[in-house]
Every structure is written in structure tokens, then in C-alpha cells.
Amino acid sequence: MSESSREPSPMDAESRFTEILAILAVTGTLSSLVIAMRCYARISLLRFFGLDDGVMLAAQVLNLAATAVVGLEAHFGLGRHAWTMPEENYIPYMKSFYFSIIFYNLGMCLTKISILLQFRRIFSAVTMQTATLYGLYFLIAWGITLSCLLPLVCYPVRAFWDTSVSGRCLDQSAIWYVMAGVNLVSDFALVTMPLPAISSLKLPKQQKILLFFVFTIGIFPCAVSIYRIKTLRVAAVSQDPTWDNVNAATFSVLELSIGVIAACLPTLRPIIITYMPTLFGTTLRSTTPATGRGTIRIRNTVTVRHSMGDMPAKGHGRYLSIGYGTDKMEGKTTEKVLEAPMNLSRGGLTE
């Protein structure tokens, strides 16, 4: 905070305010756009909005909440040197910091729960179903722990932002490191979990590489998470926290937004197939124009069935389905067309 007796310094005018707002604006806009595309694909194209979609939507709400409170931190002094902060800004700054921690950690937890729910919808193999189930147990327990621990990191809570209140606080640095470590380990677990199932798919090499890319793009949040741990160490020992905490704050929002975007990419396939079919080397032919039914054949290995009428028995209206694979039991290659919701196993993948 400001000191009236301190000599002015050229550092007083330094500010990272614009940099912070630019990062928040870009990450918030991109993640919101991808979420909107996911909702369009699931609701309008597939007519199927699953539990994983709802949880991801909740995660995005927390992402935007974290983005907003980091913006408030910048308004009250984040990105400027601590000694230039007006005294009246300290409490609202610390309040914003407090809520940003809660929103970030719960948002990360919900993002990963949504990814595991998505894996359960996509991968039908028993091993994947079991692994994702135990992963959900852990993340739900972790989320409950965070919900109880974070609001009570100081007792009374007001002691976190008001130094005039006598209270007790837990070792915050230790808590931040534990949470960052759990996030990093779970990030790597989620990236590697689908790889064995994808490698066992009977797909052309090009399509398998594309699937590997889509499902391993989560390596980017891992990289951000690793760097974020370094920024936490810098912020923990800083004598100028409002300046040195910029990277920790912005990389937290960046990690959360990239996690949301990476988790949504596999769900955007119906949009690509509908509006950019040539991206996958597709040709379109109409089979029964009168009923609005048609078949999009992708090379000679994939069949996409697009139905606008005659809804299936379980009926979600219009749907897209893609099937890959061979049937070794019959000793011949067959195209497998599976209907929504998405199902990916050794022999098939659908959306």
C-alpha cells in the first residue's frame, strides 16, 4: 500500500493492467465461443444434451466468474506495485483474490468431471468404464473437500482480507501447492487415459492420428499448469504481491479456459461434418430426398447418417452417427453405423 513518506520512483508508473485485461478478454471470449458451439452441436444437431454437457456449462460459468474477479483484482491494484495501491483498495482486492481461488479450483474440478463423463459416454470398454468411474469418485470427493476447505482457509473468513480482524489462517502456500499438484497429476491422467482405447481402434492411420490429436490436446493445460506452479512459488515469497502475482492470476484463468476449450473439441465434430464435410475428404450423396434422409460417405471407411425426419425409437430428432471398424467374427470388413449418443469402443465411434 502507499506510503506518503516514500520517495517517488520511475517504477510507480509501471502497470500490467492492459495486459491482464487483454488475456482475460481473449480467454473468456474463446472459451465462451467454444461452449456455444458445443451447445449448438449437442442441442440443435444431435438433439442430445448429456450430463457431461451440463457439467461443462457449469464449469464455464465458474471460468467466467474467475475471469471477472481477476478483472476486479486488476481494477483494485493487480498489475501495479503494492506500494502504489491506495489503502482503501486493499480489502476489495483481497476479497477478489479470495473468490478467484475458489472459482478457479472448483471450475477445474468440474471441467475434469465433465471430461470423465464424456469418456464414459464415448468409450464402452470395461476397463475405461471402470477407470473413469474411480476417477469420478476421486474428483467428486476432491470437489467436496475444496468446497469445505477453501471458504474456511481463514477463521473467521473475514481475516483473509481484513488484517484488523484477529483470526487464524491455514498455511496458504502449502494448500496452493497441494491443489496445484493434484491438478497437474489429474491433468496428465486425463490426457493419457483414452490413448490405449484409441490405439486399439481399427481406423486408417490418418483418422487415428486425428483422434490422438483431439484427445491429447489436453497436454496444453498440463504445460500451463506446470508453469503456473512456478508462478505460485514466486508469488508466495514476493514482497510486491500485486505485481508478482500477475502471472499466477492470468495463468490460472488461462489454464481453466484452455481446459474448457480442449474438453469441448471432440464434441464439435458434428459441426465440422455438417458444414465442412470436405475437411475429412467426404462426398455427399442423397438417398431418399423425399424423407430428408441422406448418407455422407467419408472415403470408404466411414458412414455418416444424417436424419432430419423419421426419428429413431429413443428419438432425439435429427442425429449424426459415424461408424468405423471391422467384424473379425464374420471374417469380413463391415461399416458400423451407431446412433447418438456418442459411443467409442474397439469397433465403433459415433456422435
Q: Tens-of-pLDDT digits for all 351 residues of the chain?
A: 545 556 777 777 799 999 999 999 999 999 999 999 999 999 999 998 999 999 999 999 999 999 999 999 999 999 999 999 999 999 999 999 999 999 999 999 999 999 999 999 988 889 999 999 999 999 999 999 998 888 888 989 999 999 888 888 888 788 888 888 898 899 889 988 888 888 877 777 777 777 777 777 777 778 888 888 888 777 777 889 999 999 999 999 999 999 999 999 889 988 988 888 776 554 333 333 333 333 333 333 333 444 333 333 343 433 333 333 333 333 332 223 222 333 333 333 444
Query: Which residue in 234, 236, 231 sits closest to 253, CA to CA?
Result: 231
State CA 267 to chain mean position distance. Answer: 12
The CATH architecture to which 14-268 belongs is Up-down Bundle (1.20)
Q: Where are the domains of the chain?
A: 14-268, 273-350
Task: Annotate 135-177 with DSSP letters as a single string.
Answer: HHHHHHHHHHHHHHHGGGSEESGGGGT-TTS--EE--HHHHHH
Determine contact, residues 172/150, Cβ cutoff 8 Å: no
Determine contact, residues 146/107, Cβ cutoff 8 Å: no
| CA 51, 57, 341, 127 torsion-angle sign | negative
What contacts 167, CB < 8 A, 6 or more positions away?
154, 155, 156, 158, 159
